[in-house]
Chain A
């Protein structure tokens, strides 16, 4: 297990290095001169030259890259050109919105999907199981923004149970913050739960047809016990992969959710900064997201090693 973890960590470091080079060069390759991007179309050559010297953009690219990376690793993510706000501060101040939103959505999805998918698998040849399968298919087909609008219409506009959007900071009103997160979390949760239910159903159906489940039943496990003791554990292997993909995919999903419910989250902050051509902030925030996705991948790899002895020992 020790060597397995070391190998994964090395892989993690190499991937981070590669993606950071990619982000750095891609932004420069696409935009040409960073100073020109920052200043906008109506800037003079003189202004551009002045800013370039100020930001050290005249130096060779590798030097600039290592400076950026060095600062990044020390927690200095640079600052916005216009507002002069620190990128780290921008990210940090949105975290109380984005983190509970994504985590809440993911946990809700798991709570809904695992039992529902198991139910659908157990009753795959009955109407109730088919109903769940169809329901999850509909959930997959429905776009996130539409589900968001619909839910906000029902619970916000008609029933007046929850706010239709907007954000009340935690420090101001804890319950208010919870209430403004409820619908976004619910929307994100059911959309992800649809995909996860579908995968859970398939994973369990596949596993229950495996020879070793038949052996378990031939040894005296009832259908139910075999499902719980042998089936779920083995079905969890493909599901962990799907969960990882969902967690990474969620970065995109939250952009829409934050937009629909007017939440000041990280995704919306990036979007605003892209529009404002804040190269430094975008570059560093995207790198933070890469670190997040890579960390999730690392956790999944390690979870895999824990769940499946074949991976632990094998290559």
Chain B
């Protein structure tokens, strides 16, 4: 039995000559909460979909995704179907569109239990009620009998999590699970995911652009930029002493009470420029164009170094400061 829930090795995701994910590797152990951050277009969601085998038609992959004793990238749709929802499951960003609008919630949850656990409809119904109860959803019977449009976004996302947890998966992937929710509901949803990992000792891959969410939830984090992991390590290290200029910029761009100017000034720092589009991705460091510390050397591609807090940068922050 592997002691990791997921091992990704040199994952590449591409569509014809557009390469969106350029060699990503990481390991998520059982019971570990693993955060993946980055701007839109960094390749976070495609990484998740590639792991689940749910990429849209035309997208291709190379590398390896090891889970449940096999390389998922080489598995057939049938083999993957038997894993999805059973040993690995996924919570999506937008709960308003993620549930089948013409089927009752109860039908959608019980289907998973009946399909994977081969229980009777009656048992599936009972187990679903327990699950919904755990998700702090009041009156689970009436929720089971509701259509998705009759429920709030927060309720729907909790149903999504209930569905993801139904069969005790080893791995849960949550792609921006709280982005579409109210702040008050966000915390409840995160707490549910957090409790599930503790209780069931499964691995969690939490994808978000919301740094405080990662900081509150995860033990480890990887920062993605331009389809690559540019920095990875323990949350405490990466967030207190970012080594990559991009990580530093990302952290500085977070609004706090100190840097928000209510009078309309522009005290909130931002990273200049924007992520290069896929078709114009430079050969060297993808961030060089926007980086204050960029040198000639940055025209070559930096690899992740061998330190505990790994960074892929020719001029990491601490050293760059020394030089300045």
Residues of A within 8 A of B (CB): 125, 209-212, 214-223, 225, 230, 233-234, 237, 307-310, 313-314
Contact = CB atoms under 8 A, between A and B. Distances in A.
Contacts of A214: 54, 92, 98
Contacts of A237: 102
A222 B112 CA distance: 12
Interface in B42-87: 52, 54, 56-58, 77-78, 81-86
For the complex of A and B, the 6 pairs showing the least CB-CB separation, nearest first, are A220-B85, A219-B85, A211-B97, A222-B81, A309-B147, A218-B90
Given A230-B100, A309-B102, A313-B150, A217 B92 contact: no
Nearest to A211: B97
A307 B85 contact: no
Contacts, number: 79
B99 interface: yes
B191 interface: no
B100 A212 contact: yes
A222 B163 CA distance: 17
A215 B101 contact: no
B98 A220 contact: no
A263 B53 CA distance: 57
B111 interface: yes
A233 B101 CA distance: 10
A314 B89 CA distance: 32
A233 B56 contact: no
Given A218-B90, A230-B100, A309 B149 contact: yes
A217 B81 contact: yes
A57 B99 CA distance: 62
A219 B163 contact: yes
A307 to B, nearest CB: 7
A310 B77 CA distance: 32
A212 B116 contact: no
12 contacts: A211-B94, A212-B97, A214-B98, A215-B100, A217-B81, A219-B84, A219-B115, A220-B85, A220-B116, A221-B81, A233-B102, A237-B102
B144 interface: no
A211 B86 CA distance: 19
B85 to A, nearest CB: 4
B151 to A, nearest CB: 12
A211 B97 CA distance: 6
Contact of B101 (A209, A219, A223, A234): A234
Contacts of B102: 233-234, 237, 307-309
A219 B99 CA distance: 11
B89 A218 contact: yes
A63 to B, nearest CB: 50
Contacts of A211: 92, 94, 97-98
Contacts of B94: 211
A218 B97 contact: no
B164 to A, nearest CB: 8
A309 B54 contact: no
B160 interface: yes
Nearest to A237: B102
Contact of A234 (B57, B77, B86, B100): B100
B85 A125 contact: no
B101 A218 contact: no
A209 B97 CA distance: 11
B250 to A, nearest CB: 27
Contacts of A223: 77
Interface string B132-161: 000000000000000101100000000010
Given A125-B58, A212-B99, A215-B99, A220 B82 contact: yes
Contacts of B84: 217-220
A172 B32 CA distance: 82
Given A220-B112, A221-B81, A234-B101, 11 more contacts: A212-B100, A214-B92, A215-B99, A218-B90, A219-B108, A220-B81, A225-B81, A307-B102, A309-B101, A313-B150, A314-B149
Contacts of B116: 220
Contacts of A308: 101-102
Contacts of A307: 102
A237 B102 CA distance: 10
B60 to A, nearest CB: 13
